[in-house]
Amino acid sequence: MVRTSQGLIKSGALALFGLMLAIFLGVAGLWADEGDAGWAGAALRMGTDARALGMGGAYVSLAHGASAIGWNPAAISHHRIREVTFSYSQLPWDRRLAYTGAVIPVEPTAGLGLAWMHAGVGDIVGRDHNGQPTGELTSSENAFCLAFSVKMAPFLSAGLSMKYLYYKLVDTSATGFGFDVGLFSSPISNLNLGLLVQDLNAKYTWDTEKVWDKGTTTYDEFPVNTRFGASYLLLQERLTVAADLEKNHKQGLKTHLGAEFSVHPVLMLRAGLEESTPTFGASLIKPISTNTVHLDYALFFDSVTEESSHIFTLHFQF
């Protein structure tokens, strides 16, 4: 009877894996490939978690704690722990990325999260038509997120993240609203699966009437992005390997590969490939009384300048 039950669980896990992959391929297939390009909201998708970037972005099936709000909100209810997360990265050309998030479990089988994601550029010198400096110009892109997740079965969770979008570009601003939906599953021991559909209904609404006499209202739509991933624990759960596929109509199919190895209970090392670009990372884990602090670091290469960049993330679990 036990073997029969285990066989049914494994069969169900394989069926679930196939279903999630079919959903990914089906949703991604709705979008014709226009080649790699820039698009609205691209800066908010660069990634704001050092663990994820250290593993090449292969994180939709590993999303954990407050970082899951952006990577896969379905994972919030899968991990029954409270957490506050802070992340920061200073990129070339005076660009910056920042993230603050918090999650709490909601008994018996749900979870709630709040987050703020920021991408900005500063120190831009404005000049008039004579080339004389007029002052510093800035750009600030923000997403304020409210996420909810619930376990639909012991091995399956679903999640929703609602996002209020605000973009300040010099003297003009835009607002918008969108949402992400996700699935997160651990159908058998050591195997995780994840599916994420990002930026449904998301777009910026620009109103330039306050800037120019003949200003207009225009819309800048975000492409709907889909990610599917799987991860597996090996070597007595000391090694994690993960892979993601990502697609939207502004880019071709992207692959993300990553691995994480527990050198010691307080030290983790990581490496990954985002397409053909390598990434590296590490974590220090420090128990403090009944709480735990994680400090994550990642080295990656900026997609715009191809220069090396760094990101730090602090997780406080209590």
Q: What is the CATH number of the domain that holds 88?
A: 2.40.160.60
Long-range contacts at 117-121 (CB < 8 A, ≥ 24 apart): 117/44, 117/48, 117/70, 117/142, 117/143, 117/145, 118/142, 119/43, 119/44, 119/46, 119/95, 120/95, 120/96, 121/93, 121/94, 121/95, 121/96
- Is pLDDT above 50 for 35? no
In terms of pLDDT, which residue wins out, 276 or 20?
A: 276
- Rounded CA separation 96/223 (Å): 22
pLDDT tens digits, residue range 60-102?
999 999 999 999 999 999 888 899 999 999 888 788 899 999 9
State the total domains in the chain: 1
Q: Is the peptide bond before 108 cis (omega within 30 degrees of 0)?
A: yes
Domain that holds residue 134: 2-32+40-317
Q: Is the pLDDT of residue 212 over 80?
A: no
**Any idea which residue has 């029954």 for tokens?**
80
Residue 244's DSSP bridge partners are: 229, 256
Quick one: average pLDDT of 145-154?
95
Q: Please tell me the least confidently modeled range out of 14-18, 38-42, 123-127, 235-239.
A: 14-18
Banded pLDDT at 32 (limits 50, 70, 90): very low
**pLDDT (0 to 100) of residue 86:** 97
Q: How far apart are CA 232 and CA 311, in angstroms?
A: 25
User: What pLDDT does residue 303 have?
Assistant: 73
Q: Is the pLDDT of residue 244 over 90?
A: yes
What the block records as the tokens of 11 is 């069969």
